[in-house]
């Protein structure tokens, strides 16, 4: 018999003035705000206007949300396609389901457009925003907690998570008092630790030219590969691994390649975050 466990929230949303507000959306929004505030402070410390982070995010965030949803749907086809499934639910973002790697791919495209328009080097923007993005991903996992989704395998550990029935991720023959690994909490802790670690490494080694972003890719992907393997929710598999585990492998290798390439080709110190010819003209004294 289990005497200790983590209860799941009894609600996933609340109503204000006739509008349904979902905790999932609130935590995603809170994460975005945190990332922007941290990124703005870091960009300002590197000699540019902190508000430029918001200018770039106007492009990066919508691209990231769209990409995250597309990637989620494509890697969980059984949830949206086939007999008895309603394809329109692919648009129900508030029910959860934003794949990080899809968000990164599309978000990078949006960031590239925004950074070019702002006159900021893309690698500089990625370095200043990377720690905040990792923290934002951790904050966003609290939304999964309120949605009672993306939990792990059955467990007898004292921090097992209670999940309300019915739940599509739980096999029908599983005992109703089964507890599950709180993988949302594992990733939250992993990301918060990583946030502090990235800031520490940046302060110690003055990482530039996309090197801090590369470390972010490697760090996050290492944890995601492990945590993804603990999850019980349905997923598409390839050669024995969940699709997001393959995504984590590719992202980690990409991060390693970026780090090694930039380390070899940019040995000097980054003196400016501005693209060549885009530096603001200093006003002359009157």
Please give the pLDDT value at position 89: 64
* Region 277-282 average pLDDT: 71
Cβ-in-10-Å burial (0-12, 13-18, 19+) of 3 comes to exposed
Q: What is the pLDDT of residues 248-272, one digit of tens each?
A: 999 999 999 999 999 999 877 888 8
Q: Tell me the pLDDT of the chain averaged across its residues.
A: 88
CB 135 within 8 A of CB 38: yes
Please give the pLDDT value at position 234: 77
Please give the radius of gyration of the chain, using alpha carbons only, rounded to the nearest integer: 21
pTM for the predicted model, two decimal places: 0.88
* Region 108-135 average pLDDT: 95
CB 74 within 8 A of CB 235: no
In terms of Cα–Cα distance, which of 260, 248, 282 is closest to 211? 260
Under the banding of pLDDT at 50, 70 and 90, the label for residue 201 is very high
Residue 173 CA, chain-centre distance (Å), reads 33
CA dist list (Å): 261 to 42, 126, 265, 266: 24, 16, 6, 8
Under the banding of pLDDT at 50, 70 and 90, the label for residue 284 is very low
* Region 107-131 average pLDDT: 94
Please give the pLDDT value at position 1: 46
In terms of Cα–Cα distance, which of 73, 64, 72 is closest to 28? 64
Under the banding of pLDDT at 50, 70 and 90, the label for residue 193 is very high
């Amino acid at each position: 018999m289990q005497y200790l466990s983590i209860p799941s929230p009894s609600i996933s949303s609340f109503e204000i003035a006739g509008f349904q507000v979902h905790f999932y959306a609130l935590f995603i929004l809170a994460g975005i705000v945190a990332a922007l505030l941290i990124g703005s402070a870091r960009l300002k410390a590197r000699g540019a206007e902190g508000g430029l982070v918001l200018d770039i995010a106007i492009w990066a965030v919508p691209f990231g949300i769209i990409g995250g949803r597309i990637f989620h749907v494509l890697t969980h086809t059984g949830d949206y396609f086939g007999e008895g499934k309603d394809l329109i639910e692919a648009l129900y973002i508030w029910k959860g389901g934003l794949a990080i790697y899809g968000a990164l791919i599309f978000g990078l495209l949006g960031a590239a457009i925004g950074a070019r328009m702002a006159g900021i080097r893309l690698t500089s923007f990625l370095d200043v925003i990377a720690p905040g993005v990792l923290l934002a991903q951790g904050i966003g996992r609290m939304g999964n907690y309120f949605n009672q989704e993306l939990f792990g395998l059955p467990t007898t550990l004292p921090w097992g998570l209670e999940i309300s029935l019915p739940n599509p991720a739980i096999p029908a023959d599983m005992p109703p008092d089964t507890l599950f690994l709180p993988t949302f909490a594992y990733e939250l802790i992993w990301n918060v630790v990583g946030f502090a670690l990235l800031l520490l490494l940046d302060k110690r080694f003055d990482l530039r030219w996309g090197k801090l972003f590369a470390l972010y890719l490697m760090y996050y992907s290492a944890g995601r590969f492990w945590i993804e393997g603990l999850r019980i929710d349905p997923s598409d598999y390839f050669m024995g691994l969940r699709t997001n585990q393959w995504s984590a492998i590719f992202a980690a290798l990409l991060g390693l390649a970026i780090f090694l390439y930039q380390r070899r080709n940019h040995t000097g110190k980054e003196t400016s975050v501005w693209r060549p010819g885009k530096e603001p003209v200093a006003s002359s004294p009157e």
